[in-house]
Structure 1
């Protein structure tokens, strides 16, 4: 996987951050269908990738602030496991407006990379079963492919089992 070129897709805070850090990644743009019921499953189908390799970025409220959970699109975030990984009593899903304001991205296009604020982040350990994974590139219809280790490094993520089957 070589360094991505700006012409390969849009420039977003995520791609700017990865380019600045010299992290190798691949840009994948696809035609987003506004009627899609699941942004992540839409991405997997459009890119021809198994859903277990495509990860969604979810923001949670810990009661003391927001945090980021990154799980496969074919599963769900286990809120109890997320709370345990963050060493807090409980978490709830963040309100849409809070997630968008904090991250700087719109729902369905929230990237774990290049967010406005650095938040505690947990990456589901199933990501490490693949050489590369796909996450939102910061826009609907745009994913970036990178190694889970590089994603962990760039987001200063903790590795934990936070996903569960749907």
Structure 2
């Protein structure tokens, strides 16, 4: 169990856990963790979402959840967060604030609850996949349920 799985169970959110064998050599050869997840689960990359942590110009850390097939627009996340500038947070800040390692960062069950934004493309799916807090483990759940759990806002985030 991970804190992410514990949270969806505690809140009685309809979900499915998907496990696959993570291959470290796939990521070292240039494939992203999210692309690996989509391929191993046999689902469209547009339906698998990655959890990114960014730092705003006021030093606040926020979470952006975007399709693994997309790139995060710093301009769009800054606008969604109502600030002027955003940059990717460094690895240490991400791991310290979320409690998860890179490649397994879940938007759910983080150590410190961060303000969260979900790419608006998620609204077109009945279910979406996000990390369950460990490489090789994904949670499938409804976008609206995810947004409610996180008090998140849907916004245009992809470049």
CA distance in 2, matches of 1:64, 1:97: 14
Q: 2:54 aligns with which of 39, 43, 60?
A: 60
The gaps in structure 1 that reach 5 residues or longer are 1-10
| RMSD of aligned residue pairs (Cα, Å) | 0.7
Structure 2 residue 121 is matched with structure 1 residue 126: yes
Counterpart of 1:27 in structure 2 is: 17
1:4-63 deviation per Cα after TM superposition (whole angstroms, max 9, x unaligned): xxxxxxx10000011111111000000000122300000000000000000000000013
Structure 2 residue 42 is matched with structure 1 residue 48: yes
1:96-124 deviation per Cα after TM superposition (whole angstroms, max 9, x unaligned): 11001100000000000100111110000
TM-score, length of structure 2 as denominator length: 0.95
Secondary structure, in 3 states, of the residue corresponding to 1:77? Answer: coil
Secondary structure, in 3 states, of the residue corresponding to 2:131? Answer: strand
Divergent runs of 4+, >2 A? none
TM-score, length of structure 1 as denominator length: 0.91
Counterpart of 1:153 in structure 2 is: 148
Quote how far apart the aligned CAs of 1:64 are. 2.7
Counterpart of 2:3 in structure 1 is: 13
Quote how far apart the aligned CAs of 1:65 are. 1.4
CA distance in 1, matches of 2:32, 2:89: 18
Structure 2 residue 71 is matched with structure 1 residue 76: yes
Counterpart of 1:3 in structure 2 is: none
1:68-99 deviation per Cα after TM superposition (whole angstroms, max 9, x unaligned): 00000001111000000000111100001100
Q: How does 1:98-137 map to 2 (within 5 A)?
A: 98-137=93-132
**Number of residues paired by the alignment?**
154
Q: 1:38 aligns with which of 32, 45, 48?
A: 32
The gaps in structure 2 that reach 5 residues or longer are none
Quote how far apart the aligned CAs of 1:163 are. 1.1
